[in-house]
Amino acid sequence: MIKNILVPIDGSVHASAALEAAIWLAAKFEAAIVGVHVVDIVALEGPFLHDLSASIGFEPSMNFSSKVKAALEEKGIGLLEEVKERCKKAGVACSTVMASGVVSTEICDKSNSADIVVMGRRGANENFDNSMLGAVTEAVVRKASKHVLVVPRSFTSPTSMLLAYDGSASSSKALRAAAECSATLSLPLTVISVAENPDTDSTLSEAEDYLKPYKVEVEFIQKSGDPHTEVEQYCKETEKDFLFIGTTHHGRIAEMVLGSTTEHLLRSLEGLVYIAR
């Protein structure tokens, strides 16, 4: 059950969309939002500060670093005040916190007291990052101990949910999350399983048995082939805009730290992606 939602805020359009999604989710689950802004110590101590100093003609000093940090904190205070205002307007309970450190690490630490992290697909540095998934978001997805909802650049309320299910422990957690969300949000759910031998695969029957008590509108789809391709293609063809998936999935391609199928879908799909822990 979702009751505490952590939302990282950095002033980007992606973070604004994530906040909008979090407010929508909080209203449905009667949950509270915690907005967090992290002052990035990499920006204070790394090449950025030295480049900035060189461009204006003097060496960085402790005093200069303090002034830059104070300016960044002031900006963060303004961003968090905006979070409070938007939550108040929506009638959603909200609190905020300021942190300083490595951004992804601080977000993961703060997530320990939350049920889910809702964050944008990319962040404030998107103009300097050509990847489809921002570095901070990818790090949080990999390291966080809680569920993570990745939100696209523009949020619209989803209309249908898709669960990629393979019977693994992590996808079983995704199954539970999808069941709760489908019931609470009153959204239809489709469960897709991809197996090399569909005729002998019992994965979907396991999911069907689990979902019966929830009394949700559900459809089961069995596919054969590569999980990457089949789930992505089905999601796009049927215009599913809310995908649930575990952190690791079976497949012919060797799993990486996050899981090959999960990582592929995060990078290739445009809608909401819920990564269950």
Domain that residue 98 falls in: 4-151
Q: What is the pLDDT of residues 73-132, one digit of tens each?
A: 889 999 999 999 999 999 999 999 999 888 999 999 999 999 999 999 876 655 445 455
The rounded mean pLDDT for the chain is 84
Same domain, 47 and 65: yes
Q: How far is CA 246 from CA 28, 119, 226, 253, in A?
A: 23, 17, 17, 16
**pLDDT at position 168, please?**
87
Same domain, 117 and 253: no
Same domain, 13 and 114: yes
In a domain, 156, yes or no: no
What H or E segment, with its residue span, contains residue 40?
strand 32-40
Mean pLDDT of 42-67: 54
pTM of the model: 0.85
Same domain, 12 and 113: yes
In a domain, 38, yes or no: yes
Residue pair 152/272 in contact (Cβ under 8 Å)? The answer is yes
**pLDDT at position 64, please?**
56
Percent of the chain with pLDDT over 90: 54
What does the alpha-carbon distance between residue 102 and residue 136 come to, in Å, rounded to a whole number? 9
Q: Which of 277, 244, 243 is nearest to 173 (CA)?
A: 277
Same domain, 116 and 15: yes
CATH number, residue 88 = 3.40.50.620
Per-residue confidence band for 56, with pLDDT thresholds at 50, 70 and 90? very low
Q: What is the pLDDT of residues 147-198, one digit of tens each?
A: 999 999 899 999 999 999 988 888 999 999 999 999 999 999 999 998 777 6
In a domain, 235, yes or no: yes
Final residue belonging to a domain, choices 151, 171, 197: 151
In a domain, 33, yes or no: yes
Same domain, 22 and 41: yes
**pLDDT at position 179, please?**
97
Residue 24 predicted with pLDDT over 60: yes
Percent of the chain with pLDDT over 70: 81
Query: Domain tally for the chain?
Result: 2
Same domain, 71 and 172: no
Same domain, 217 and 240: yes
Residue 241 predicted with pLDDT over 90: yes
Lowest mean per-residue pLDDT among 30-34, 68-72, 79-83, 121-125: 121-125
Final residue belonging to a domain, choices 151, 183, 210: 151
